[in-house]
């Protein structure tokens, strides 16, 4: 559940998964059923923050939640109490605690940019492969059992008892060292809570992704003698020495997560074209991004703001980096920050090696990148850079004409909140047709022709006649605007007409809720998967029903035999008397709902990836 759906006084409080599971197990059946009927009832109660606790007035009773001063976590049963006689087995206590975000010790490793600790800069001798232990296999099996129970009932009917099973499984995975599996299970519980509370931030697609990811990791643990770090995960990232001595700043972007973290991430490019990142992220609201941007980032004893770092070159000694290319910032690393020269960024040798290609080649390479099973992703996967000319506005995007592309591209809003200036900056750019800029952005894989604009360089603005549109940035910006962090002003523009009365960009549509293009086969399979996740096995059309037979005929007519077999297998498993036995190690070797959910998700991902790659190639050709 997002913070906007919880009582505001909750702030950055969180509750350990095993504590919430314990409270659910302690509660009598009638208390669980009462909470299942109204999961968000505690939101209407009066929450009051005190120095080290929160008190909640329910009308007749008072609930008290204490937390650890440093971590702001509720970790022990002794920290929660209620004035009623049934405490800690009462309805009031369970309703209040279930409002809090779920947290584990691995939470810090789940965010895209988390500030590394000083000790992380030490080289790691950890092996690349880890032997699967009996405890890991037990935890993975328990995870599949919990997921199977959820698929039988559906997320809409996944009450506190099933949530407790998922939480217990997540805690066991965490104790056994399966960090990524634990993270996926906790994300599933958060998704279920949002769904049942009818939150505006409910994301069914992400819930399906989390479920499939959990199944894939659990199956790998059960079937293989060893697993790599990307599958297992770790609480604290390992940092290895890297042979890099100079870095060129690329851009900075705001970081805002659903789990209540905010800050800034600076991307730096090495001489070989590899992109690394340095970040400053803390628990807090979205406005912390601006504070982190202008505040200091400690780099091995050197303090510098992200505003300066993203406009500088860096000489570094004893540099270390994690597998996902986050830089270590320990005391043994030496940093020397220098201002960049006045020449355009695309003239540097490092830039030419990384982005000195056509936009079509850049997009094709990133769409062909391999995606791993685990949570580790590369820093630069979706970045592209290109020169372009502003054409104007189109709905929630800025139309631009790239130098080497015949069709116009759409620069879109990367993060549409009031606390970051993406929307305001793009609105000013949209009112400046003819303006030439150099754009660094992130490709929207699922929308051909759409790129989230992250930063612009304006050296090109000074070419041409005096009548051409120009953008003159403050000297301290060094001709660079980080669109999510720097705020453009009207007086920066000349020979343009950025009138305030001009229509503003249309409200950006949440990309998570955008429908797929007309890919009928995948859409039918996705609809069946969505039905299974939300409504459970009982809501899936049986193999003999007319609707199911029509779907199979359509898939075969579209020459999608694999999709047809998958749909048939899901329907058959859903109506089986005991499909669970085949999914938890029984003698029946037929795939169960868990395996079929993961297989269906994988098929759709591969199908869509190929479709979107072809759509982008058609757009750019």
Q: Is residue 283 part of a domain?
A: yes
Residue 290 shares a structural domain with residue 437: no
Tokens (6 digits) for 335: 């940093």
Domain end among 203, 232, 261: 232
Per-residue model confidence (pLDDT) at position 217: 93
Distance CA 18, CA 277 (A): 33
Cis peptide before 88 (omega within 30 of 0): yes
Residue 503 shares a structural domain with residue 381: yes
Residue 493 shares a structural domain with residue 370: yes
Distance CA 195, CA 198 (A): 5
Domain end among 334, 351, 368: 351
Residue 228 shares a structural domain with residue 284: no
Residue 308 shares a structural domain with residue 337: yes
**How far, in whole angstroms, is CA 383 from its chain's centroid?**
16
Task: Kindly calculate the radius of gyration of the chain based on its CA atoms and give it in whole angstroms.
Answer: 26
Residue 542, SS3? coil
Condensed to tens digits (0 to 9), the pLDDT of residues 175-221 reads 888 989 998 998 898 888 888 887 777 788 889 999 999 999 999 99
Tokens (6 digits) for 484: 């999510």
Low-confidence ranges of the chain (pLDDT < 50): 1-4, 105-127, 371-379, 460-462, 500-501, 508-518, 577-587
Per-residue model confidence (pLDDT) at position 377: 45
Residue 225 shares a structural domain with residue 137: yes
Q: Is residue 90 part of a domain?
A: yes
CA–CA distances in Å: residue 365 to residues 362, 370, 384: 5, 10, 10
Strand ranges (DSSP E) for 214-346?
226-228, 240-241, 246-256, 261-270, 275-283, 296-299, 302-305, 312-317, 320-321, 334-339
Residue 362 shares a structural domain with residue 457: yes
Distance CA 280, CA 278 (A): 7
Distance CA 437, CA 195 (A): 43
Do 289 and 262 contact (CB within 8 A), yes or no? yes
Length of the chain: 621
Distance CA 589, CA 583 (A): 8
Domain count of the fold of the chain: 5
Domain end among 182, 198, 232: 232
Per-residue model confidence (pLDDT) at position 501: 46
Do 573 and 194 contact (CB within 8 A), yes or no? no
Per-residue model confidence (pLDDT) at position 147: 93
Q: Is residue 110 part of a domain?
A: no
Do 181 and 217 contact (CB within 8 A), yes or no? yes
Q: How do strand 14-16 and strand 102-103 relate by DSSP bridges?
A: parallel
Residue 145 shares a structural domain with residue 185: yes
Per-residue model confidence (pLDDT) at position 424: 93
Residue 372 shares a structural domain with residue 475: yes
Residues of the domain holding 91: 3-103
Nearest to 212 by CA among 604, 512, 619: 604
Per-residue model confidence (pLDDT) at position 312: 87
Q: Is residue 112 part of a domain?
A: no
Per-residue model confidence (pLDDT) at position 6: 56
**How far, in whole angstroms, is CA 64 from its chain's centroid?**
33
Residue 179 shares a structural domain with residue 262: no
Q: Is residue 605 part of a domain?
A: yes
Residue 221 shares a structural domain with residue 248: no
Nearest to 583 by CA among 600, 597, 603: 597
38: DSSP letter: -
Q: Is residue 169 part of a domain?
A: yes
Per-residue model confidence (pLDDT) at position 342: 54
Q: Is residue 323 part of a domain?
A: yes
For 306-329, give the DSSP string: HHHHTTEEEEEES-EE-TT-BBP-
Per-residue model confidence (pLDDT) at position 581: 44
Do 218 and 180 contact (CB within 8 A), yes or no? no
Per-residue model confidence (pLDDT) at position 44: 84
298: DSSP letter: E
216 phi/psi in degrees, rounded to 5: -60, -45
Residue 369 shares a structural domain with residue 495: yes
Q: Is residue 367 part of a domain?
A: yes
Do 73 and 13 contact (CB within 8 A), yes or no? yes
């Amino acid at each position: 559940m997002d913070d906007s759906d919880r009582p505001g006084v909750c702030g950055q409080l969180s509750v350990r998964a095993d504590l919430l599971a314990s409270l659910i197990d302690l509660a009598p059946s009638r208390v669980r059923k009462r909470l299942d009927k109204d999961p968000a009832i505690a939101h209407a109660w009066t929450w009051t923050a005190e120095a080290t606790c929160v008190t909640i007035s329910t009308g007749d009773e008072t609930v008290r939640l204490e937390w650890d001063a440093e971590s702001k976590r509720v970790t022990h049963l002794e920290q929660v109490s209620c004035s009623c006689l049934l405490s800690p087995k009462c309805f009031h206590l369970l309703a209040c605690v279930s409002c809090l975000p779920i947290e584990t010790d691995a939470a810090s490793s789940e965010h895209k940019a988390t500030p590394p600790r000083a000790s992380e800069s030490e080289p790691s001798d950890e092996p690349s492969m880890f032997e699967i232990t009996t405890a890991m296999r037990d935890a993975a099996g328990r995870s599949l059992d919990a997921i199977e129970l959820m698929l039988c009932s559906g997320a809409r009917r996944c009450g506190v008892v099933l949530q407790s099973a998922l939480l217990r499984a997540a805690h066991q995975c965490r104790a056994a060292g399966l960090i990524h599996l634990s993270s996926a299970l906790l994300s599933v519980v958060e998704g279920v809570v949002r769904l049942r509370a009818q939150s505006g931030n409910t994301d069914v697609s992400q819930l399906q992704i989390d479920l499939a990811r959990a199944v894939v990791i659990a199956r790998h643990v059960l079937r293989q003698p060893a697993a790599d770090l990307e599958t297992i995960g770790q609480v604290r990232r390992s940092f290895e020495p890297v042979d890099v001595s100079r870095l060129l700043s690329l851009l900075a972007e705001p970081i805002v997560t659903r789990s209540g973290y905010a800050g800034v991430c600076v991307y730096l490019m090495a001489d070989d074209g590899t992109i690394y990142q340095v970040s400053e992220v803390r628990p807090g609201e979205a406005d912390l991004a601006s504070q982190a941007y202008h505040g200091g980032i400690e780099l091995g004893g050197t303090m510098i703001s992200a505003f300066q770092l993203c406009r500088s070159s860096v000489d570094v000694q004893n540099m270390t980096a994690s597998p996902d290319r986050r830089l270590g910032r320990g005391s043994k690393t030496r940093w020397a920050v220098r201002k960049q020269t006045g020449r355009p960024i695309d003239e540097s040798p490092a830039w030419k090696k990384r982005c000195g290609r056509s936009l079509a080649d850049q997009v094709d390479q990133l769409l062909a990148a391999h995606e791993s099973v685990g949570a580790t992703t590369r820093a630069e996967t979706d970045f592209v850079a290109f020169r372009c000319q502003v054409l104007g506005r189109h709905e929630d995007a800025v139309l631009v004409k790239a130098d080497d592309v015949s069709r116009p591209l759409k620069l879109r809003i990367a993060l549409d909140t009031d606390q970051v200036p993406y929307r305001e900056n793009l609105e000013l750019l949209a009112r400046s047709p003819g303006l030439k800029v150099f754009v660094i952005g992130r490709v929207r894989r699922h929308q051909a022709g759409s790129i989230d604009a992250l930063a612009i360089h304006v050296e090109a603005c000074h070419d041409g006649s005096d009548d051409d549109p120009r953008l003159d940035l403050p000297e301290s910006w060094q001709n660079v605007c980080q669109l999510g962090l720097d705020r453009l002003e009207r007086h920066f523009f000349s020979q343009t007409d950025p009138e305030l009365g001009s229509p503003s960009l249309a409200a950006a549509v949440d990309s998570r809720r955008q429908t797929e293009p007309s890919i009928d086969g995948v859409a039918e399979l996705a609809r069946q998967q969505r039905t299974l996740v939300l409504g459970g096995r009982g809501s899936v059309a049986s193999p003999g029903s007319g609707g199911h037979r029509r779907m199979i005929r359509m898939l075969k007519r579209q020459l999608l035999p694999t999709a047809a077999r998958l749909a048939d297998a899901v329907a058959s498993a859903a109506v089986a008397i005991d499909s669970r036995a085949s999914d938890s190690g029984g003698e029946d070797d037929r795939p169960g709902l868990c395996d079929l959910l993961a297989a269906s998700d994988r098929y759709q991902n591969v199908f869509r990836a190929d479709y979107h790659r072809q759509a982008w190639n058609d757009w750019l050709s």
